[in-house]
Structure 1
Amino acid sequence: MLYRVEGIVIRSTDYGEGNKIITLLTPDFGKQGIVVRGAKKLKSRYGALAQLFTYGEYSYYKNNSLGTLNSGEIIESYYQLREGLEKPAYAAYAAELTDRAINDDETAAFLFHQLKACQAALTEDKDPQVVLRVYEMRVVSTAGYAPILDECVHCGKQEGDFRFSFVAGGALCHNCRHRDPGAIELMDGVWKLLRLFAHLDLRRLGHITVKDSTKIQLQLVMRKWMDTHLNLNLKSRHFLDQLEKYGEMLVKPKPMADQEPLSDREVTNDAD
C-alpha cells in the first residue's frame, strides 16, 4: 500500500552497504520506519531526505513493519541543527526523547507540531535550555505523566507553600509534605515557569531570558521527573549533560539580574 505523509526524521541508521533506515514522526500515523535505498551514496536522490531532523513529505510503500521510500520532497532541512556542537546536541536529545517516549503507530499530531516548533526554536537561537524544558513538559504530558502543579496532589489545597514530590505526583502542601520526606523546595520563579510550561504551546514561545539558577532547578525537576515516571536511558542526554557541565557552549546565555516571575505575554510572541 502506498502512503504519503509529512514527517520529521527522528532516527537515521545505516542499513547494508548503501541504505539507511529512518524513523519518521508523522502527525497521522505516529512513528514510521522506512528504508531509503541508496541513501548513503554520494549521488543519491534521497540522501538528504534520510538526514536527521529533516522535515519533508514522504511517499512510501508498506506491507509489513518497514516501508520503502518511493519518493519525497524536503520542506525544511533544518541544516543548522547538524552544524557545530551545541544545536546538534539539543536537537538530538529532543529527537531521541520523542522516539523513546511514544509507541509505534501511536497518533502523535500534537507532539509532531511541538517537535517541529522545538527544532525551529533551536534554529532561531532561542535559549536551548528553556526550549528543551518546555518540550520535555510537552512530552510527559503527551505520555500521560504531567505533574500536578496548581494544587496539592493529596488534599487539593490550592494556596500556600508547596514542595515538589516526584513520587507523589507534583505539589504537596505544608500539611501533606510529610507524605514524602524527599519532596523538594522550589524557587517561586521555578513554580511559575513550570505552571506556564505545562500549558504553553511551543509554537508561541518567544525569545526569553531566565537566570542560571532558575534553569538549573528547572532542569533538575524535569530530569528527575522523567527518570521517575518514564525511566528512559538516553544516550543523547548523557552527551548533553557532559557538554553543559564541562564544555564551552558555542552560544552563551546572556547574564541577567534576578527576574520577576514571567507572564504569559512575556514568553510568547503575537505570531503563531
Structure 2
Amino acid sequence: MYTDTEGIILKQIKTVSGRRMVLLFSKKFGKISAGTSINEKGKGKSALAMRPFTYGKYELYKNRDTYHINGAEVLKSYYRIGEDVEKYMCCSYVLELTERVLAEDAKAPEIFYLLLDFLSIMEERKKKFETLVLAYQVKLLQCYGNMPKLDACACCGSTENLTDFSIKEGGLICKACILQENTNDALIYELNFAIVDILRYFLQNSLKALKSLALEESVQGQLQQILKDYFAYHLDIKTLKSEGFVMGLSQKK
C-alpha cells in the first residue's frame, strides 16, 4: 500500500549496502521505523528531508508491519538549531526523550504538535535553552497523561499541610503522610513552592506562551532533577545519551 504522511525525523541509522533505517514520528501513524535508500548527505529535495530537525512530507510504501520511504520533501527545516552547540544538544535531548516516550505505531497528535512548537520556538531562542526543555518535559507528561498530582496529597487526597513532593507517590504529599514514609528516601523532596508554581504555570500555558520564560539557575537545577527522577520512576526512562550534556549546562552556570 502506498501512502504519505507528514513527519519529523527522530533518528537515522546507516545499515548495509548504503541503506538506512529511519525513525520517523509521523502524523498519520505515530512513531514508525522505515527503511530507505535516500542518503541524507545527497543534494536532492528528498535528501534534505531526511536530516535531523526536519519536518517533512514522506512518501511511504507499507507492507504489513514494515515501511519504506520512497520519497520526501521538506515542509520546514529547523536548520538554525545546528548553529549553536548548546541549542543543538538540548534539541537532541528532546528528540531522544520523545522517541523513548512514544509507543510504536500509535498515533500521538498532541505530542506531534507539541514537538513542532518546541522546534519552532527553540530555533528562534537565543539563551536559557534549558528552561524551554523543562517546559517541554512537563507538557509531554501532560500529553502522556502522567502528570504529578499538584492540587492535593497524592496519598490521602488532603489539601492541607502539603509539605513534600514524592516521586514514588506521583505528586505532593501532606505532613501526616510524610510521617508514614521513609524520610531518608532520596525520591522525596522537601516542598519548594517556587517549583510547584512553575509546574502549574507550565501546565496552564501553551509552549508558545512560555517562549520568553527564563528560570533562575537554582530553581532550574532542582526541577531538572525532579523531572529526571520522575521520568525514570514512572516511565522507566533512566539513561539518555544527550542527558549528561543538558544536565551539565546548569551546573556550569
TM-score (norm 2): 0.89
Matched, 1:92 2:92: yes
Q: Equivalent of 1:202, from 201, 204, 207?
A: 207
| Change in 2 beyond 3 A, CA 1:203/1:84 | closer
Note the C-alpha offset of 1:40: 4.5
Identity of aligned residues (%): 29
The equivalent of 2:51 in structure 1 is 51
Contact map agreement 2:59 2:69 (CA 8 A) in 1: yes
The equivalent of 1:129 in structure 2 is 130
Q: Distance in 1 between matches of 2:48 and 2:180?
A: 53
The equivalent of 1:262 in structure 2 is none
The more displaced of 34-43 and 85-94 is 34-43
Question: Secondary structure of the residue that 2:70 maps to in structure 1?
Answer: strand
Note the C-alpha offset of 1:118: 1.1
Q: Equivalent of 2:229, from 224, 230, 241?
A: 224
| Change in 2 beyond 3 A, CA 1:220/1:41 | closer
Contact map agreement 2:40 2:51 (CA 8 A) in 1: no
Q: Distance in 2 between matches of 1:177 and 1:160?
A: 10
The equivalent of 2:170 in structure 1 is 169
Q: Distance in 1 between matches of 2:30 and 2:9?
A: 12
The one-letter code matched in structure 1 to 2:131 is V
Structure 2: segments with no counterpart, 5+ residues: none
Note the C-alpha offset of 1:92: 0.7
Structure 1: segments with no counterpart, 5+ residues: 249-272
The one-letter code matched in structure 2 to 1:155 is C
Contact map agreement 1:127 1:207 (CA 8 A) in 2: no
Matched, 1:106 2:112: no
The equivalent of 2:21 in structure 1 is 21
Contact map agreement 1:27 1:110 (CA 8 A) in 2: no
Note the C-alpha offset of 1:117: 1.0
The more displaced of 236-245 and 72-81 is 236-245
The one-letter code matched in structure 2 to 1:109 is P
Matched, 1:120 2:125: no
Contact map agreement 2:138 2:202 (CA 8 A) in 1: yes
The more displaced of 143-152 and 213-222 is 143-152
Matched, 1:71 2:71: yes
The equivalent of 1:241 in structure 2 is 247
Indicate the structure with greater helix content: 2
Contact map agreement 2:149 2:172 (CA 8 A) in 1: yes
Note the C-alpha offset of 1:37: 1.2
Q: Distance in 1 between matches of 2:246 and 2:17?
A: 30
Contact map agreement 2:57 2:74 (CA 8 A) in 1: yes
In the alignment of these two chains, the number of paired residues is: 247
The equivalent of 2:193 in structure 1 is 188
Question: Secondary structure of the residue that 2:20 maps to in structure 1?
Answer: strand
The equivalent of 2:42 in structure 1 is 42
| Change in 2 beyond 3 A, CA 1:237/1:152 | same
Question: Secondary structure of the residue that 1:47 maps to in structure 2?
Answer: helix
Note the C-alpha offset of 1:4: 1.3
| Change in 2 beyond 3 A, CA 1:211/1:22 | same
Contact map agreement 1:26 1:109 (CA 8 A) in 2: no
RMSD over aligned Cα, in angstroms?
2.0
Contact map agreement 2:19 2:38 (CA 8 A) in 1: yes
Deviations 1:35-87 (A, max 9, x none): 23131553444221111110011111111433222322211110012233111
Q: Distance in 1 between matches of 2:150 and 2:84?
A: 37
| Change in 2 beyond 3 A, CA 1:236/1:64 | farther
